[in-house]
Structure 1
């Protein structure tokens, strides 16, 4: 089994599952349907090699490394979700950053997007500390879990539609296991991917699909009677945070609203 850098031995929960394909197979993400807990799912995610382009890129970045991190060992694997396994609030991003989560092995950890997000999670009472620098920095999340539709760092931060579809079973399994009451969606890519996955899981998604917008609030019902609220938020990318398109106050407001709805 694989361990994250500095995180100690990983769970072996996923080791006993009978998998329908090798990690290199395009069908490997379907193994997510067998996961019985979030811990099992996380372990399975880390072994996936189903997308050759993403595997090649994440490993190349891990070998060549950025100068500032040249002495570090990069994670260079798919990145599992992070946070409370029984969270009422799920935060959905895009994909791991090449020198952030692809380096540290933890979602939104080790880059400026993560600095912005975790500072807000701390201010709103979801995170134990305002920084997220490494997988063993002591950070814990309460009531919230962070994930993404694509689990490998993509070239130019742009996964292809096929890569997104291939990775979708992992997001579907996470939604099934966590069953959040509220989902905060960071950016239009995550919004579209989430709506596609929710529709496949039996949620009643309107046609035409509701468009992403910062501050958007969408309540969806499942055929079994459950409800979930989606909250749109501009992504915490430097392109948005450095230009003021997304301010700390704007992000805090979305997270406070998520807490209210989940409460």
Structure 2
């Protein structure tokens, strides 16, 4: 069964959790949360996994919780989205030149997927990256998402350093890591609105740079 399937059964623990959520919250999405945005975009944003009351509830990645509110409001402020965000997803938000996804498509218990589940879902991320012909920048939200992204690129998880603002370049694509925009990081001040916005301002600066001959050759 494809990991893009709305009822993917590849990860038994995630399937059990999904079935439990379907039993207690039958009106929720309770299925893999697909990427959202522009597949021709030059920016890809990679989180770790849907939150139970976030994308698992609404069906739209990073929608329904504090992390999603922070992400979409920042994207709107930095020009990568337009519209007015709502936690229920019934809004007019449109992403501009970017796409948002997770390394793991199904909600995990405690918001923590197991390494085996990350590995099982990784072909989704690798295929998505290959399907974006204009990709120039990838922003990873958190070090676990960063390591998953590197492995999806065929690199070891240690191929770049972690931490907020860490950057590296692979095959003409700039990777920028950010602290995750979780409620915990926001409430403790580990991540501030200005720190988060700076990541996307940097991404915008990279995107606006003229392409080199090597980048043009890679895309053709």
Q: Give me the whole-angstrom Cα distance separating, in 2, the residues matched to 1:178 and 1:132.
A: 27
Unaligned runs of 5+ in 2: 209-220
Task: Decide whether aligned partners of structure 1 residues 206 and 51 sit closer, same or farther in structure 2, where only a CA change above 3 A counts.
Answer: closer
Counterpart secondary structure, 2:139? strand
Q: Give me the whole-angstrom Cα distance separating, in 1, the residues matched to 2:9 and 2:157.
A: 34
1:178 to 97, 109, 132: 132
Shift of residue 121, structure 1, vs aligned partner: 0.6
Kindly report the root-mean-square deviation, in angstroms, between the aligned alpha carbons of the 2 structures.
1.7
Shift of residue 249, structure 1, vs aligned partner: 0.4
1:153 to 86, 92, 107: 107
Q: Is 2:138 the counterpart of 1:188?
A: no
Q: Matches of residues 21-32 of structure 1 in structure 2 within 5 Å? A: 23=1, 28-29=2-3
Unaligned runs of 5+ in 1: 1-22, 30-43, 66-71, 200-204, 222-226
Q: Is 2:41 the counterpart of 1:87?
A: yes
Q: Matches of residues 235-250 of structure 1 in structure 2 within 5 Å? A: 235-250=180-195
Q: Matches of residues 88-237 of structure 1 in structure 2 within 5 Å? A: 88-179=42-133, 180-199=135-154, 205=155, 208-221=158-171, 227-237=172-182
Q: Give me the whole-angstrom Cα distance separating, in 1, the residues matched to 2:67 and 2:55.
A: 11
Q: Give me the whole-angstrom Cα distance separating, in 2, the residues matched to 1:247 and 1:54.
A: 32
Counterpart secondary structure, 2:144? helix
Counterpart secondary structure, 1:213? coil
Q: Which residue of 2 aligns with 1:253?
A: 198
Q: Which residue of 2 aligns with 1:11?
A: none
Counterpart secondary structure, 1:138? coil
1:57 to 13, 17, 28: 17
Shift of residue 73, structure 1, vs aligned partner: 1.1
Aligned residue pairs, count: 207
**1:181-216 deviation line (CA, Å, top 9, x unaligned):** 1000000110000011101xxxxx479522211011
Q: Give the TM-score of the pair, scaled to structure 1.
A: 0.75
Contact kept, 8 Å, 2:148 with 2:157, in 1: the verdict is no
Q: Give me the whole-angstrom Cα distance separating, in 2, the residues matched to 1:172 and 1:146.
A: 14
Q: Which residue of 2 aligns with 1:262?
A: 207
Shift of residue 132, structure 1, vs aligned partner: 3.6
Q: Give the TM-score of the pair, scaled to structure 2.
A: 0.89
